[in-house]
Amino acid sequence: MDNIKTITVNRKAYHDYHIVESYEAGLALKGSEIKSIRMGRVNIKDAYAKVEKGELWLHNSHISAYQAGGFDTHEPDRKRKLLMHRNQIAMLDEKAGQKGLTVIPLRLYIKGGIAKLELGLGRGKKMYDKRDAIARRETEREVERAMKTRSKKVH
Protein backbone atom coordinates (compact mmCIF):
# COMPACT_ATOMS: atom_id res chain seq x y z
CA MET A 1 0.00 0.00 0.00
CA ASP A 2 1.29 3.44 -0.96
CA ASN A 3 2.17 5.89 1.76
CA ILE A 4 -0.11 8.93 1.30
CA LYS A 5 0.72 12.26 2.96
CA THR A 6 -1.93 14.96 2.63
CA ILE A 7 -0.39 18.39 2.06
CA THR A 8 -3.51 20.57 1.86
CA VAL A 9 -7.29 20.20 1.72
CA ASN A 10 -9.59 22.70 0.02
CA ARG A 11 -12.25 23.11 2.73
CA LYS A 12 -13.81 26.00 0.83
CA ALA A 13 -14.71 23.61 -2.01
CA TYR A 14 -16.75 21.43 0.35
CA HIS A 15 -18.49 24.56 1.65
CA ASP A 16 -19.29 26.08 -1.75
CA TYR A 17 -20.02 22.95 -3.84
CA HIS A 18 -21.90 19.66 -3.75
CA ILE A 19 -19.20 17.20 -4.84
CA VAL A 20 -20.66 14.73 -7.36
CA GLU A 21 -17.55 12.70 -8.29
CA SER A 22 -13.83 12.77 -7.58
CA TYR A 23 -10.78 11.90 -9.69
CA GLU A 24 -7.02 11.65 -9.21
CA ALA A 25 -4.61 13.62 -11.39
CA GLY A 26 -0.86 14.05 -11.43
CA LEU A 27 0.82 17.44 -11.68
CA ALA A 28 3.55 18.51 -14.10
CA LEU A 29 5.88 20.44 -11.77
CA LYS A 30 9.33 21.99 -11.73
CA GLY A 31 11.88 20.87 -9.14
CA SER A 32 11.50 23.94 -6.96
CA GLU A 33 7.70 23.50 -6.98
CA ILE A 34 7.75 19.96 -5.60
CA LYS A 35 10.17 21.08 -2.88
CA SER A 36 7.79 23.89 -1.88
CA ILE A 37 4.86 21.46 -1.91
CA ARG A 38 6.70 19.05 0.37
CA MET A 39 7.25 21.98 2.76
CA GLY A 40 3.48 22.65 2.65
CA ARG A 41 3.80 26.06 1.01
CA VAL A 42 0.83 25.68 -1.34
CA ASN A 43 -2.67 27.15 -1.60
CA ILE A 44 -5.48 25.65 -3.72
CA LYS A 45 -8.38 27.53 -2.08
CA ASP A 46 -9.43 29.56 -5.15
CA ALA A 47 -8.10 27.14 -7.76
CA TYR A 48 -10.07 25.43 -10.52
CA ALA A 49 -9.29 23.06 -13.39
CA LYS A 50 -10.18 23.70 -17.01
CA VAL A 51 -9.81 21.71 -20.23
CA GLU A 52 -8.00 23.67 -22.96
CA LYS A 53 -7.21 22.07 -26.35
CA GLY A 54 -7.60 18.55 -24.98
CA GLU A 55 -5.31 19.18 -21.98
CA LEU A 56 -6.32 19.73 -18.35
CA TRP A 57 -4.88 22.83 -16.64
CA LEU A 58 -4.95 24.02 -13.02
CA HIS A 59 -5.59 27.77 -12.66
CA ASN A 60 -5.31 30.11 -9.63
CA SER A 61 -3.21 27.76 -7.51
CA HIS A 62 -0.32 29.26 -5.58
CA ILE A 63 2.91 27.41 -4.84
CA SER A 64 5.31 29.71 -2.98
CA ALA A 65 8.81 30.17 -4.33
CA TYR A 66 11.38 27.79 -2.86
CA GLN A 67 13.68 29.86 -0.62
CA ALA A 68 16.82 27.85 -1.35
CA GLY A 69 16.05 27.84 -5.08
CA GLY A 70 18.36 30.66 -6.08
CA PHE A 71 17.62 32.98 -9.00
CA ASP A 72 16.04 30.40 -11.35
CA THR A 73 12.93 29.52 -9.33
CA HIS A 74 9.36 29.06 -10.56
CA GLU A 75 6.57 31.64 -10.86
CA PRO A 76 4.20 31.04 -7.90
CA ASP A 77 0.88 31.68 -9.70
CA ARG A 78 1.48 30.07 -13.10
CA LYS A 79 -1.05 27.63 -14.55
CA ARG A 80 0.02 24.01 -14.20
CA LYS A 81 -0.69 21.04 -16.41
CA LEU A 82 -2.64 18.18 -14.83
CA LEU A 83 -1.84 14.66 -15.95
CA MET A 84 -4.70 12.27 -16.71
CA HIS A 85 -5.48 9.82 -19.50
CA ARG A 86 -6.90 11.42 -22.63
CA ASN A 87 -10.22 9.55 -22.33
CA GLN A 88 -10.57 10.65 -18.67
CA ILE A 89 -9.99 14.29 -19.68
CA ALA A 90 -12.60 14.01 -22.46
CA MET A 91 -15.13 12.47 -20.04
CA LEU A 92 -14.40 15.17 -17.43
CA ASP A 93 -14.79 17.90 -20.06
CA GLU A 94 -18.11 16.43 -21.19
CA LYS A 95 -19.45 16.22 -17.61
CA ALA A 96 -18.18 19.70 -16.74
CA GLY A 97 -19.99 21.01 -19.82
CA GLN A 98 -23.28 20.15 -18.15
CA LYS A 99 -25.12 23.00 -16.50
CA GLY A 100 -23.56 24.20 -13.27
CA LEU A 101 -20.72 21.67 -12.93
CA THR A 102 -17.14 22.78 -12.22
CA VAL A 103 -13.86 20.92 -11.76
CA ILE A 104 -12.36 21.92 -8.39
CA PRO A 105 -9.21 20.67 -6.63
CA LEU A 106 -10.21 19.06 -3.32
CA ARG A 107 -6.92 17.82 -1.91
CA LEU A 108 -3.21 17.87 -2.72
CA TYR A 109 -1.18 14.92 -1.47
CA ILE A 110 2.05 12.99 -2.00
CA LYS A 111 1.52 9.35 -2.99
CA GLY A 112 4.57 7.16 -3.42
CA GLY A 113 6.82 10.24 -3.69
CA ILE A 114 4.68 11.80 -6.44
CA ALA A 115 2.42 14.85 -6.03
CA LYS A 116 -1.22 14.08 -6.81
CA LEU A 117 -4.32 16.26 -6.89
CA GLU A 118 -7.80 14.99 -6.05
CA LEU A 119 -10.25 16.76 -8.37
CA GLY A 120 -13.94 16.99 -7.65
CA LEU A 121 -16.78 17.54 -10.07
CA GLY A 122 -18.97 19.95 -8.13
CA ARG A 123 -22.27 21.76 -8.46
CA GLY A 124 -22.38 25.17 -6.77
CA LYS A 125 -24.43 25.42 -3.59
CA LYS A 126 -27.05 28.09 -3.19
CA MET A 127 -26.96 30.33 -0.13
CA TYR A 128 -29.82 28.44 1.53
CA ASP A 129 -27.93 25.14 1.07
CA LYS A 130 -24.97 26.62 2.94
CA ARG A 131 -27.25 27.82 5.75
CA ASP A 132 -28.84 24.38 5.88
CA ALA A 133 -25.44 22.68 6.24
CA ILE A 134 -24.40 25.08 9.01
CA ALA A 135 -27.68 24.55 10.90
CA ARG A 136 -27.35 20.76 10.60
CA ARG A 137 -23.77 20.87 11.91
CA GLU A 138 -24.80 23.07 14.86
CA THR A 139 -27.63 20.68 15.76
CA GLU A 140 -25.26 17.71 15.67
CA ARG A 141 -22.84 19.54 17.96
CA GLU A 142 -25.63 20.35 20.44
CA VAL A 143 -26.75 16.71 20.48
CA GLU A 144 -23.14 15.58 21.09
CA ARG A 145 -22.78 18.07 23.96
CA ALA A 146 -26.08 16.93 25.50
CA MET A 147 -25.02 13.27 25.24
CA LYS A 148 -21.66 14.00 26.90
CA THR A 149 -23.19 15.95 29.80
CA ARG A 150 -25.86 13.26 30.26
CA SER A 151 -23.26 10.45 30.31
CA LYS A 152 -21.22 12.38 32.91
CA LYS A 153 -24.30 12.75 35.16
CA VAL A 154 -25.08 9.03 34.94
CA HIS A 155 -21.60 8.00 36.16
Residues 6+ apart with CB under 8 A from 84: 23, 25, 26, 56, 92
The domain locations on the chain are: 4-124, 126-155
Supply the DSSP symbol for 125.
P
Mean pLDDT of the chain: 82
- Rounded to two decimals, the pTM is 0.71
DSSP letters spanning 34-98? HHHHHTT-EE-TT-EEEEETTEEEEES-EEPPPGGG-SS---TT--EEEE--HHHHHHHHHHHTS
Tens-digit pLDDT profile for residues 61-96:
888 777 775 666 666 778 888 899 999 888 888 888
Fold (topology level) of 4-124? Small Protein B; Chain: A; (2.40.280)
Mean pLDDT of 126-149: 80
